[in-house]
Amino acid sequence: DVKVTQSSRYLVKRTGEKVFLECVQDMDHENMFWYRQDPGLGLRLIYFSYDVKMKEKGDIPEGYSVSREKKERFSLILESASTNQTSMYLCASTPEGSYNSPLHFGNGTRLTVT
């Protein structure tokens, strides 16, 4: 079974802090994704990566950056956290060139910025 692990289930940070959300997958998937989930808005794509050191902006990249130095790890970075970034963050992965393959999700990180 594919396992996608997000390092923290809950996280509380202060406004202005630099925040790292970590995600690791164990199935050698090329593609990795970061979404945020907010009530009434569904899941919105922040960034995705289709290979090591490769990244593409999703629909809401502002205020975020990502890092993919190793194939299994995809990090989401909030350079200066703000209260409007309080949300549930979901990481996912899938093999390359597989538009018919489902994404495998981690359990999510609920981030609160105070």
Partner 1 sequence: AQKITQTQPGMFVQEKEAVTLDCTYDTSDPSYGLFWYKQPSSGEMIFLIYQGSYDQQNATEGRYSLNFQKARKSANLVISASQLGDSAMYFCAMREANTDKLIFGTGTRLQVFP
Q: Which amino acid is at 94?
A: T
**Residues binding partner 1 (CB under 8 A):** 31, 33, 35, 40-45, 48, 50, 58-59, 88, 90, 92, 94, 96-97, 99-100, 102-105, 107-108, 110
Tokens 């990249």, located at residue: 61
Structure tokens at 112: 């609160």
How far apart are CB 5 and partner 1 at their closest, in Å? 12
How far apart are CB 92 and partner 1 at their closest, in Å? 8
> Which of 66/90 has CB closer to partner 1?
90
DSSP annotation of 102 reads P
How far apart are CB 16 and partner 1 at their closest, in Å? 27
Please state, in angstroms and rounded to a whole number, the distance separating the CA atoms of residues 100 and 103: 10
> Which of 9/14 has CB closer to partner 1?
9
Q: What share of the chain is helix, strand, coil (3-state, %, to 5)?
A: 5, 55, 40
> Which of 80/112 has CB closer to partner 1?
112
How far apart are CB 50 and partner 1 at their closest, in Å? 6
Please state, in angstroms and rounded to a whole number, the distance separating the CA atoms of residues 90 and 6: 8
